[in-house]
Amino acid sequence: MNTTRIAQACRALRTAAIFAVAAPALAQNLVANPGFESGNTGFSSGYIPLTVPSTSGTYGVSSLASALWYSWYPVRDHTSGRGKMMCVNGTNTSTGTIVWRETISVRPDTRYIFGVWSAMIFKSPSPILQLKINTAQVTLASVAGPTGTWRHLSGTWNSGNATSATIKIADLLGADYGNDFALDDITFGECVRVVSQPASITICPESEASFAVEAGGLGPFTYQWQRRNAAFAWVNITDGPAGAPGAFSGTLTDTLTISDPAPESPGAYRCVVTDACRTVESDAATLAFCGCLTCPADFNQDGGVDGSDAQAFFGRWEEGSCDADVNADGGVDGADVDFFFGAWTAGGCG
């Protein structure tokens, strides 16, 4: 017996089946006061905050536009209808005075998405809002539509070498009459990325298998698990039927589970994660079956118990393969050597 190989393998404890554990998706809005629930804080503005913002170039924070100024319509916030929003009396200049601004630390060479909800709170003309990050314009759009109807504006930006981003919202209309609007639920965050990849697993055929992926970015995220078919093409998989061998569950979540895997279950799997910015794919992870032998003495399953079984056992044991977990305790170690040779010297498992 090669005692050096045994010692090396005993120091390398491995589990027979490794299950990836799902963690909450790292959805993060980097804006300090996105829904204005903290009031007039966490941002700066070229407009003047007033209790009654009745003149152009002023604003107030409230849960009801008409509560700030009687001429405005009774528009409520976008978040819940009971929260706060920034209500703006558009300026009569066309210089693009900054309505809202915040500076945020960013990671270099990373794609971000910047968005805001806006609604008219008075008559036309409707404002023309510009969203900029540093010197780059990410979107320019009119907040046209019925008064009180919330509209979402957004755009993406790559940070390049930048380590900070000054995100800004300006009104370019330049009208004194009309041009009054509300801002709410401002978002800025990374586009989706895979933070933690699904792990390949090897299990006994009767065991449950799970794969998990962890996504990071602004969110929200949608998930779609796929399997590689015989033609090496990735195809979407779906849940169910419940209780059937090899049935999938969680195919539209961050964790895929295969209950009672079927003979055709082994293979490659991956998850496609999507947000409003882009779609990314996880690395492929494989599902494989262990031997999980009922008679480990005949390790190579040739019908006899001889030296070739010992050779086959030690080859798999040195690799740390779950096939060598002959005592089924979840680890590959010296206890498996004792168990194997107990059965082997007895000449079988009967």
Tokens 């907040």 -> residue = 143
pLDDT number for residue 94: 64
Domain boundaries, the chain: 3-13+292-345, 30-190, 193-289
Closest among 182, 123, 176, 175 to 151, alpha carbons compared: 182
The reply to whether the predicted model has a pTM over 0.85 is no
How many Å apart are CA 90 and CA 97, to the nearest integer?
9
pLDDT in tens, 39-63: 999 999 999 999 999 999 999 999 9
Rg (CA), the chain: 31
Closest among 163, 188, 166, 189 to 109, alpha carbons compared: 163
Q: What residues pair up with 100 in beta bridges, in sequence order? A: 169
Which pair of structure tokens corresponds to residue 65?
A: 């536009």
Identity (one letter) of the amino acid at 304?
G
- The dihedral through the CA atoms of 252, 256, 261, 263 has a sign that is positive
How many Å apart are CA 92 and CA 4, to the nearest integer?
84
- Region 213-218: what's the mean pLDDT? 95
Tell me which of 129-133, 154-158, 168-172, 312-316 is least confident. 312-316
Count CB neighbours of 306 within 10 A: 13
φ, ψ at 315 (rounded to 5°): -65, -45
Q: What residues pair up with 331 in beta bridges, in sequence order? A: 15
How many Å apart are CA 322 and CA 273, to the nearest integer?
31
**pLDDT, greater one: 15 or 154:** 154
> Which residues contact residue 134 at a Cβ distance below 8 angstroms, ignoring those fewer than 6 apart?
162, 165, 166
pLDDT in tens, 93-116: 767 899 999 999 999 999 999 999
Closest among 68, 116, 117 to 88, alpha carbons compared: 68
Superfamily of domain 193-289: Immunoglobulins (2.60.40.10)
pLDDT, averaged across the chain = 87
Whether the domain at 30-190 and the domain at 193-289 fall into the same CATH topology: no
CA distance between the termini of the chain: 25
> Which residues contact residue 204 at a Cβ distance below 8 angstroms, ignoring those fewer than 6 apart?
16, 17, 289, 290, 292, 322
Contact 336, 314 (CB under 8 A): no
pLDDT in tens, 293-324: 777 888 888 888 888 988 988 998 998 887 88
pLDDT number for residue 319: 85
Residues recorded for the chain:
350
pLDDT number for residue 16: 29
Q: Which fold does the domain 30-190 belong to in CATH?
A: Jelly Rolls (2.60.120)
pLDDT in tens, 239-272: 988 778 889 999 999 999 998 888 888 999 999 9
Query: In which band, very low, low, confident or very high, does the pLDDT at 14 lie, cut at 50, 70 and 90?
Result: very low
